Amino acid sequence: DVKVTQSSRYLVKRTGEKVFLECVQDMDHENMFWYRQDPGLGLRLIYFSYDVKMKEKGDIPEGYSVSREKKERFSLILESASTNQTSMYLCASSSLGLAGAAETQYFGPGTRLLVL
Amino acid sequence: AQKITQTQPGMFVQEKEAVTLDCTYDTSDQSYGLFWYKQPSSGEMIFLIYQGSYDEQNATEGRYSLNFQKARKSANLVISASQLGDSAMYFCAMREVSQAGTALIFGKGTTLSVSS
């Protein structure tokens, strides 16, 4: 079975704290993604990675960084948390896919982050 | 311009009835993939069904089917024989194959409520 896990379901942090959100997949997928989800805005891509140590900015990378030191693990880092980063964070992974095929993304359970 | 449009913020249906959730998309690519995900209140995004742009048959997965009308650029999700457990948020998403490594583009979602 496909499995994507995230380190926390709920997290409460203070403004200015450094926050780490961890995501692990056990499907040997090449691609990994971080999204944030906000009411009325849907899911927006923060960063993605298509290989170890590789990363690409998504639509809203400001205030975030990522790390991918191992294939199965993709970390999202909030360098200095702010209240406008209170959100639901979803990690996903997908295989590389054959040329012309749009590979399915599988999601973790999400982390609800509250920044006070 | 929005790439994925879900015009129904909320839908209400009774158990055992069928329901159609609308999705229209905008792309100039010839090769793309369309996905539907379900998000219950627990937060996890659950993959439901996939349709490739070159697939001639509409995709089906159990009670889910995708009514794909390429010329109209629509990819509606049909849920037959609704169950109480189908109450959730539903997202339509698209991946353009030409954009190698990029993430899914999501619509803003439709909330489905199933009553007994």
Query: pLDDT digit of tens for each residue in chain A (116 aa)?
Result: 669 999 999 999 999 999 999 999 999 998 899 999 998 888 999 999 988 988 989 889 999 999 999 999 999 999 999 999 999 999 999 887 665 566 889 999 999 999 99
Closest by CA position to A115, among listed A33, A9, A10: A10
CB B79 within 8 A of CB B62: no
CB atoms within 10 A of CB A22: 17
Q: Distance (Å, rounded) from C-alpha A100 to C-alpha A52?
A: 23
Facing residues of A19 across strands? A78
pLDDT tens sequence across B27-67: 988 888 999 999 999 888 999 999 999 988 999 999 999 99
Q: Distance (Å, rounded) from C-alpha B29 to C-alpha A116?
A: 43
- pLDDT value, residue A23: 97
| A40 with B31: Cβ contact below 8 A | no
CB A19 within 8 A of CB A80: no
More confident residue, A95 or B7: B7
Least CA distance to B101: which residue of chain A? A50
More confident residue, A59 or B7: B7
Distance from CA of B102 to the nearest CA of A (A): 8
Facing residues of B26 across strands? none
CB atoms within 10 A of CB A23: 26
When CB atoms are compared, the residue of A103, A105, A109 closest to B44 is A109
User: CB neighbours of A92 closer than 8 A, spacing ≥ 6?
Assistant: A4, A32, A33, A35, A105, A106, A107, A108, B45, B103
| B37 with A107: Cβ contact below 8 A | yes
Segment B5-15 shows an average pLDDT of: 95
pLDDT tens sequence across B64-116: 999 999 999 999 999 999 999 999 999 999 987 655 556 788 999 999 999 99
Say which residue the tokens 């961890």 belong to: A22
Chain centre distance of CA A10: 15
Distance from CA of B89 to the nearest CA of A (A): 11
| A100 with B31: Cβ contact below 8 A | yes
Terminal alpha carbon distance of chain B: 38
| B91 with A90: Cβ contact below 8 A | no
Q: Kindly report the CA angle at B31 between B27 and B32, in degrees rounded to 5? A: 65
Q: Distance (Å, rounded) from C-alpha B37 to C-alpha B94?
A: 11
Facing residues of A34 across strands? A47, A91
In the 8-state DSSP scheme, what is residue B40? -
When CB atoms are compared, the residue of A31, A43, A100 closest to B101 is A31
In the 8-state DSSP scheme, what is residue B42? T
